[in-house]
Structure 1
């Protein structure tokens, strides 16, 4: 089915086997375990449910006594007692209902909070590999749409199901006590109702699974096309109408699935409703036949039985609805558990090495390092041996796809090596705690990410307790202070979505200032000044030379003017080190580096940069 060209009716009327895939099965016990930390609060709810069920079931018997005793005998005193009892029961049920609602709401929201936090924390632990292979809109959809879809079940349905089950049990016992023949007759519609409910529940689970997939597609489309970058792309490419058509098609399919979800089984349910609605009238008819031959069946018995049937009807409907809600919610749980079950491929050791940034010299070494991206036909890096002495400036250059950026990723442990080791001061980065490693490195990338917040907040993301004076000093080093100060709100200026209030070069300088503020012993610059003009770049380089003296600086660059003064230049080609030396040495060698300088080097065919 082509997105944008499928009709609503095609979606709404498609055969189940063709339009809906089988949902991932979720063990119900895993869902119930979410409630385990709140078992005592839930136990109190169950106690309240049991109490109200027992108290509520007295109502039909009081009605029977009113019809058979108080009214025929015109006993007003007895009638007042019975009426008072009915009012008291209603008052008790009202008070208990409020208590139940308070407890259930708090437990439900606590479970939702735990689930959201659990998913978010797990995703924070995932490596860069997961996020490069997953759409941002998909992640957002699962955290918002899927967890939101569980809200009703977690907050209300589970407890409603328990309360209804208690009422059903007590009502069935009371009906059998009143008269077992009328009771069994009242249960005739149950088997058909259960069959219909199971069929509808399975269908809605499949529909919900598909629906959430399409909602994720729609959210991803919105995230991509209505971002600043997406709008610029669609307008400059003249593809705005095409984006509208894509969104319309996806929205139409979501609407069809929504209709399918709400209308599934309605004909079967209407038959069940008809049977349940007809049951009181049929009970009167059967009771009329039995009354002549069965003295125990009185008018009061019939009235009480009908009252019990009505008492039984809503909890039965609630149970049937709740089981369908559970099947629907299970589709949401499946998508959330799918994320929670994703293996974290980069984990911290149980007893990690902890080092303070001040204790780090800054020696970085690659020993026989090889790395391949998942699904890539060839390794991105092959048998890399590289020593970077503390306090030196090392540049890594090479054509597009040569593995330069990947080298930086391995130092920051955004990926783990396939073989070999990357060490800092002789310590394997895989043995360091995440906090210690982050404290050692300051990373500035070609496309820096800025929060939709003020300039000051973006800078303090690198150092929360930074003073205003420290912000200004870092901004001056990054050659961005004058621009920030010229803004009407100064350092309180909001940078906008992804920093679009500033140019590419200005964003790079803000990101550089943020890293300088942290004062790390090792600075990794990945095309960090690529968007700057030559004059600004030279000024920043001179300022960095002062502030980063005696610190290790690793520069990854395409523009070779930024690396001429490096103590050592590493030249990569097809994932291997082909040359190393100073600028003068490499130019004199007239090899690959010299070709890069003259612009004649071939572009390697490789996966990853």
Structure 2
């Protein structure tokens, strides 16, 4: 997994990427900008009408003429309000819809990329943190995507228009205004980094809280069965407290930001009124124009305040976008190589040729110069103590990880030269820890082949010895299994998993401790299903219960040094080596259990 150094990228370097999300909605964006311009222009027109009335109409001696002018002026101002209201309605509704579409697209891109990331990425990243990235981090994007461009445009129009009018009113006072505006701009520019860091820290801390909650609630049965609620509460308290401190720091930063800008704006009014008073005394500006100037200062500062708020919004939204890009810029370690072929339907001849593999951050290799040849439609059992690489072998065949040295071939083709989709379409896995999705029984079985018909699903369930049980459920195949299949026993979940594999009907089958957590009765029922599933397939079995591998075509005994024994059950028992020793120990343990019963 290659993670580009996002931290070294400049803030501006992300803007083209952000702007690219507007491309599918050019028409809507253009309409939003047009109506934003209308809002900006009508906002400038109101003070202009007031200035004309004050300086040129209300000073007329002919009262009748004043009334004649007031009526059309009022109609004109009313029309401006109507136009501004209609434009505001469009910007408020469709502008937000534009932002929501962009947020949706970003979230879709992020989830799509997450689905492609390698196992090694998820080995180091908690589910709760990923949920936070895809949900919480992108919540501010809608407001930024909507208000950002339109606020910039409206503010630019109002600031430019007001500045021109103010320059025509009094150049000296306008220069005072410009100095204070530059001061506010400089403060905002240099303070933005501190704001960005505080928002980023806040997102990291809430992601940690999400991870704690997800971990604790996912294991709530373990928590309560061991009476460890206090432990989980303490972990949550610490994470929640860190989030509170982060948010407290964020609000402190924002308090300084807004209060400083507010002080500069207030100081601007004071300086303008005092300086304007001197100009009135000197006769370089009349009181009406000074009053108008103060009005236009407010018009000038309103978009400046909007830009100050926009800067806060920008930092919030871009921290979420930045964290999204961190994931999008994480390249999957396992991906299709250039020129990878569609493997089609494979026979299932599997070879490990001088394979060496080490997990990331591990000190030693799990496999070193490991070689193995499994013939198509043969079953091979891997036995031995924990940590010698049995599960690793099974993870390398579907390319969940890539080998460091050597090669794995299927039907003579290096699996790295096959597309991942075509390789994995030829493999089904039944594992000890069965994951059932919070959906119906039908959907969980159909996960093996999502376009399967009801008849195919039922046939697979019958082959897995689970159909009769399903029919006893209140809604049959439409019964919801609950989160992680909590409503079903281990044996029932395992047989649903086996039904998935039957539906997939692959040439290669991997059984990783598929019965190790089951009681004897459930094990027999599941083993019958597995025996049926294994027929006419290349099957790799990992099992600590050696009674489940007696019928394998070949049994391999693994140790840290590699394969130490291989042969059939009968041949290995006759040899009296490691396998026979393991088997004897399990048989004696079983005898003791039966005698104790």
Is contact 2:491-2:522 (8 Å) kept? no
Task: Establish whether residue 338 from structure 1 lines up as the match of residue 326 from structure 2.
Answer: yes
Q: Which string of whole-angstrom CA distances, capped at 9 and with x for unpartnered residues, describes residues 559-592 of structure 1?
A: 1111111111111111611111111111222222
Aligned partners of 2:430 and 2:586: how far apart in 1? 28
Instruction: Give the stretch that moved more between structures: 214-223 or 428-437.
Output: 428-437
Aligned partners of 1:205 and 1:134: how far apart in 2? 23
Aligned partners of 1:23 and 1:273: how far apart in 2? 32
Is contact 1:165-1:319 (8 Å) kept? no
| Residue 92 of structure 1, CA deviation | 1.7
SS of 1:599 mapped into structure 2:
helix
| Residue 319 of structure 1, CA deviation | 0.9
| Residue 404 of structure 1, CA deviation | 0.6
| Residue 51 of structure 1, CA deviation | 4.1
Q: Map residues 91-490 of structure 1 onto 2, 5 A cutoff.
A: 91-227=82-218, 230-266=219-255, 269-270=258-259, 272-277=261-266, 279-280=268-269, 282-291=271-280, 293-294=282-283, 297-357=285-345, 360-490=346-476
Task: Establish whether residue 46 from structure 1 lines up as the match of residue 33 from structure 2.
Answer: yes
Instruction: Give the stretch that moved more between structures: 322-331 or 110-119.
Output: 322-331
| Residue 30 of structure 1, CA deviation | 1.9
Aligned partners of 1:486 and 1:52: how far apart in 2? 65
Q: Which string of whole-angstrom CA distances, capped at 9 and with x for unpartnered residues, describes residues 269-308 of structure 1?
A: 335424424645654443343235446x334322322221
Classify 1:355/1:278 alpha carbon distance in 2 versus 1 (closer, same or farther; 3 Å): closer
Long gaps (5+) in structure 1: 1-21, 602-609
Corresponding residue number in structure 1 for 2:11? 27
Corresponding residue number in structure 1 for 2:542? 556
Is contact 2:378-2:539 (8 Å) kept? yes
Is contact 1:198-1:324 (8 Å) kept? no
Among 480, 503, 511, the residue aligned to 1:525: 511
SS of 1:60 mapped into structure 2:
helix
Aligned partners of 1:492 and 1:281: how far apart in 2? 72
Give the TM-score, by structure 1 length.
0.88
Aligned partners of 2:173 and 2:557: how far apart in 1? 91
| Residue 170 of structure 1, CA deviation | 2.0
Aligned partners of 2:336 and 2:200: how far apart in 1? 34
| Residue 34 of structure 1, CA deviation | 2.5
Q: Which string of whole-angstrom CA distances, capped at 9 and with x for unpartnered residues, describes residues 186-237 of structure 1?
A: 334324323443454332222222211211111111001112xx22222233
Number of aligned positions between the proteins: 575
SS of 1:348 mapped into structure 2:
coil
Is contact 1:60-1:305 (8 Å) kept? no
SS of 2:351 mapped into structure 1:
strand
Aligned partners of 1:23 and 1:147: how far apart in 2? 19
| Residue 540 of structure 1, CA deviation | 4.3
Instruction: Give the stretch that moved more between structures: 137-146 or 236-245.
Output: 236-245
SS of 2:342 mapped into structure 1:
coil
State the structure with bigger RCO (CA 8 A, min sep 6), 1 or 2.
Answer: 1
Long gaps (5+) in structure 2: 1-5, 588-597
Classify 1:212/1:274 alpha carbon distance in 2 versus 1 (closer, same or farther; 3 Å): closer
Q: Map residues 3-22 of structure 1 onto 2, 5 A cutoff.
A: none
Classify 1:37/1:584 alpha carbon distance in 2 versus 1 (closer, same or farther; 3 Å): same
Corresponding residue number in structure 1 for 2:45? 58
Aligned partners of 1:167 and 1:211: how far apart in 2? 34
Aligned partners of 1:285 and 1:208: how far apart in 2? 39
Classify 1:27/1:186 alpha carbon distance in 2 versus 1 (closer, same or farther; 3 Å): closer
Corresponding residue number in structure 2 for 1:3? none
Q: Which string of whole-angstrom CA distances, capped at 9 and with x for unpartnered residues, describes residues 481-523 of structure 1?
A: 2222222222222111111111222211111111111111111
RMSD value over aligned CA atoms? 2.5
SS of 1:365 mapped into structure 2:
strand
Is contact 2:199-2:315 (8 Å) kept? no
SS of 1:30 mapped into structure 2:
helix
| Residue 475 of structure 1, CA deviation | 2.0
Aligned partners of 1:79 and 1:237: how far apart in 2? 82
| Residue 448 of structure 1, CA deviation | 1.1
